[in-house]
DNA sequence: ACATAAAAGGAACAAGTATTCCGTTTATGT
DNA sequence: ACATAAACGGAATACTTGTTCCTTTTATGT
């Protein structure tokens, strides 16, 4: 195994005390602390997007110009930091989805969102990894964001199906899995930057999703 | 990160001495050693297929009823063991591909192989992982097997394209990536056993791969 | 049976990295 | 300026898992 990839696992199984190990951002917050928090989020956003969930937390600390301890003061786990960063992407895409819900052409609206999600993933590794983990959001607190996202997609899918633009035998879960699989597709094979190949794959998926109406070629 | 998955990485960077640390299977081989070797391969085949490359080597040792040291006596690295197991799958599928090369219907031949590869991956996690790693085979010694496999697929693809059964803008690499992505698709989402969903995805891919001849719906 | 080289086994080691702990530094109100 | 709680930093800890090393066991030929 010559590969030099970073690890995915090994987050401690049961943190000994999550009590007040990190700031309970509910009331005050000292000036420098606030600034550091922002630096951490900015650094995390950048690095997670570039390298994905797998980079060591220490790199984010470096990039942010703070110590490891400081990160843990602000976020209880690496996971929590990851989510804090990713929730933005989700909200952005959700609002795009919502604005597409009233588009005159349900088919176009659907495929537009489909492409948007894929484009985001193509350039944003954090988004890919979030998809990869299944749980787009696990915090109970942010459950709403996930539900919004899912229901926006479901809505677009249903409308497109009713308009006979998308095959009717699939559900949101299928869609999710399909998106996921395409996002991961280019992770392998050396040049993950081959955008042409990526577009060809997306094109295959889109054609495959189209409603075949009546004229199905026999098997 | 509550997930309890096993690790993917962390194989030592540069083994200190691979000289004669393991048996140089070229001449003799004591009776018990031979038997153990087979036990190890059998166990590895089973466990890798079930759990993928990520299970700890110690589990294979347990399953095989031998010590860890014994495994390393036979195979220089975990990687080497994995390859020893996987080479079989590749040879099997390659011979299937070759026998399809003379099929009367190039389109059917192509899609049959396509499905076969996916079915194998659906039930065999080792195969999925092998795909995932990009390097289906890295040993120079076994390079031929990989080339056979690739060229068999390339042949089927080309014939299908010439017969206007498959869209012409894709190459073997695209195909590889597509297969890979579908194989990974179900790794996420709890029930990896949802064969119906899997078939729906494969169906989408197949429809997307079909040649659209002339009547392309406008965008 | 015996000698001996082959083989087995598994404790010890190496490495990567998330998380904790605690002594030191700093912002803030008085 | 000062006191003090808040925040910081990063070495130490914990834990996982591939690989090595060396002692003990065993097959095999005589």
B30 CB contact with strand D at below 7 Å = yes
The per-residue pLDDT for B157 is 96
Rounded Cα distance between B63 and A28, Å, is 56
Per-residue confidence (pLDDT) for residue B19, from 0 to 100:
43
Report, as an integer, the average pLDDT of A2-18.
40
pLDDT surpasses 50 at A2: no
Note whether B181 and A181 are within 8 A (CB).
yes
SS3 per-residue string spanning B126-143: HHHHHHHCCCCCCCHHHH
| CATH topology assigned to domain A86-209 | Tetracycline Repressor; domain 2 (1.10.357)
Helix (H, G, I), strand (E, B) or coil at B39: helix
Distance CA B97, CA B112 (A): 9
Q: What does the alpha-carbon distance between residue B58 and residue B15 come to, in Å, rounded to a whole number?
A: 18
Cβ contacts below 8 Å, chain A against chain B, sum to 118
Of residues B149 and A136, the one with the higher pLDDT is B149
Give the list of residues 6+ apart from residue B205 with CB closer than 8 angstroms, or none. A204, A205, A208, B178, B182
Confidence category of residue A3, pLDDT binned at 50, 70, 90: very low
CB B40 within 8 A of CB B71: yes
> Under DSSP, is residue A192 helix (H, G, I), strand (E, B) or coil?
coil
Residue B147's pLDDT band, with cuts at 50, 70 and 90, is: confident
User: Are the C-beta atoms of residues A73 and A23 closer than 8 Å to each other?
Assistant: yes
CA distance B31 to chain A (A): 31
pLDDT at B189: 53
Q: Give tens-digit pLDDT for A82-108.
A: 999 988 888 888 999 999 998 999 999
- Distance (Å, whole) CA A1 – CA B11: 6
Tell me the pLDDT tens digit for each residue of B34-75: 999 999 999 999 999 999 999 999 999 999 999 999 999 999
pLDDT, position B12: 42
Query: Quick check: A144 pLDDT over 70?
Result: yes
Q: Strand D proximity: list residues 66-85 of A with CB under 7 Å.
A: 66-70, 72-74
On strand C, nucleotides with any atom < 7 Å from a protein CB are 6-12, 14-22, 26-28
Residue in chain B nearest A112 by alpha carbon = B219
Note whether B208 contacts A206, CB cutoff 8 Å.
yes
Kindly state the helix (H) or strand (E) to which residue A85 belongs, with its residue range. helix A78-100
Contact A200 B133 (CB under 8 A): no
Q: Which tokens belong to A177?
A: 């899995």
Which of B4, B6, B7, B8 has the highest number of chain A CBs within 10 A, making it the mutation to test binding with A?
A: B8
Average pLDDT of A214-219?
43
- Whether domain B31-76 has CATH 3.40.50.740: the reply is no
- Work out the mean pLDDT of chain A and round it to a whole number: 81
Q: How far apart are CA A174 and CA A185, in angstroms?
A: 16
- Output b/e per residue, B194-219; b: 16+ Cβ within 10 A: eeebbebbbebbbbbbbeeeeeeeee
Q: Find the residue in B nearest to A197 (Cα).
A: B174
Q: Label residue B185 by pLDDT band (50, 70, 90).
A: confident
Q: What percent of chain A has pLDDT over 70?
A: 76
B153 has pLDDT over 50 = yes
* Nearest CA distance, A31 vs chain B (angstrom): 31
User: Which residue from B minimizes the CA distance to A192?
Assistant: B177
Q: What are the structural domain ranges in chain B?
A: 31-76, 86-209
**pLDDT-based confidence at residue A142 (cuts at 50, 70, 90):** low
Q: Say how far apart CA B100 and CA A153 lie, in whole Å.
A: 41
Q: What confidence score (pLDDT) does residue A104 get?
A: 94
Q: Is the pLDDT of residue A56 over 90?
A: yes
pLDDT grade, residue B145 (50/70/90)?
A: confident
Distance CA(B129)–CA(B180), nearest Å, equals: 9
């Amino acid at each position: 195994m010559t590969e030099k990839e970073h690890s995915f696992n090994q987050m401690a199984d049961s943190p000994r005390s999550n009590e007040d190990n990190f700031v309970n951002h509910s009331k005050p917050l000292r000036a420098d602390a606030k600034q550091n928090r922002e630096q951490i989020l900015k650094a995390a956003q950048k690095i997670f997007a570039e390298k994905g969930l797998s980079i060591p937390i220490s790199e984010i600390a470096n990039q942010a110009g703070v110590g490891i301890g400081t990160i843990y003061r602000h976020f209880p786990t690496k996971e929590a930091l990851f989510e804090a960063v990713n929730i933005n992407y989700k909200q952005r895409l959700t609002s795009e989805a919502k604005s597409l819900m009233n588009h005159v052409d349900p088919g176009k609206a659907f495929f537009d969102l489909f492409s948007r999600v894929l484009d985001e993933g193509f350039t944003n590794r954090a988004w890919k990894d979030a998809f990869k983990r299944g749980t787009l959001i696990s915090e109970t607190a942010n459950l709403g964001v996930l539900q919004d996202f899912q229901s926006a997609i479901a809505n677009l899918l249903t409308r497109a199906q009713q308009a006979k633009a998308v095959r009717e035998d699939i559900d949101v879960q299928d869609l999710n899995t399909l998106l996921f699989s395409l996002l991961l597709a280019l992770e392998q094979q050396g040049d993950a930057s081959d955008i042409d190949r990526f577009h060809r794959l997306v094109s295959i998926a889109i054609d495959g999703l189209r409603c075949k109406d009546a004229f199905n070629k026999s098997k």
